[in-house]
Amino acid sequence: MPLVDHLEELRQRVLRSLLAVVIAAGACLIAVKPLVRLLEQPANGIHFLQLAPGEFLFVSLKVAGYAGLTFALPYILYQGLRFVLPGLTLNERRLIAPAVAASAVLFLGGLAFAWWALVPAALRFLVSYGADVVEPLWSIERYLDFVLLLMVATGLAFQLPVLQLLLGVLGLVRWRVMLGAWRWVILGASLAGAVLTPSTDPITMLLLAGAITALFLIGVGLVALTERIRPETP
Determine the average pLDDT of the residues in 1-27: 88
What does DSSP say about strands 137-139 and 47-49: parallel, antiparallel, or unpaired?
parallel
The beta strand positions in the chain, using DSSP E, are 47-49, 137-139
pLDDT at site 118: 87
pLDDT at site 51: 85
pLDDT for 143-166, tens place per residue? 999 899 889 888 888 888 888 887
Q: List the one residue out of 159, 161, 157 whose CA is nearest residue 209.
A: 157
pLDDT at site 85: 74
Q: Which of 76-90, 119-133, 158-172, 220-234 has the lowest mean pLDDT?
A: 220-234
pLDDT at site 65: 93
> How far apart (Å, rounded) are the C-alpha atoms in residues 148 and 194?
16
The pLDDT-based confidence of 27 (bands split at 50, 70, 90) is very high
Determine the average pLDDT of the residues in 24-41: 92
Q: Which residues pair with 137 in a beta bridge?
A: 47
Within 8 A by CB and 6+ apart from 219, the residues are 160, 161, 162, 163, 164, 165, 178
> How far apart (Å, rounded) are the C-alpha atoms in residues 144 and 230?
46
Residue 197 above 80 pLDDT?
Answer: no
Q: What is the DSSP string of 5-18?
A: HHHHHHHHHHHHHH
pLDDT for 213-225, tens place per residue? 898 888 888 888 8
pLDDT for 67-108, tens place per residue? 998 888 888 888 887 887 777 677 667 777 777 788 888 888
Is the pTM higher than 0.85?
no
Tell me the average pLDDT of the chain: 84
pLDDT at site 1: 63
Residue 231 above 60 pLDDT?
Answer: no
pLDDT at site 229: 65
Determine the average pLDDT of the residues in 111-128: 86
pLDDT at site 195: 77
pLDDT at site 230: 58
pLDDT at site 198: 65
Residue 233 above 50 pLDDT?
Answer: no
pLDDT at site 77: 82
> How far apart (Å, rounded) are the C-alpha atoms in residues 39 and 55?
16
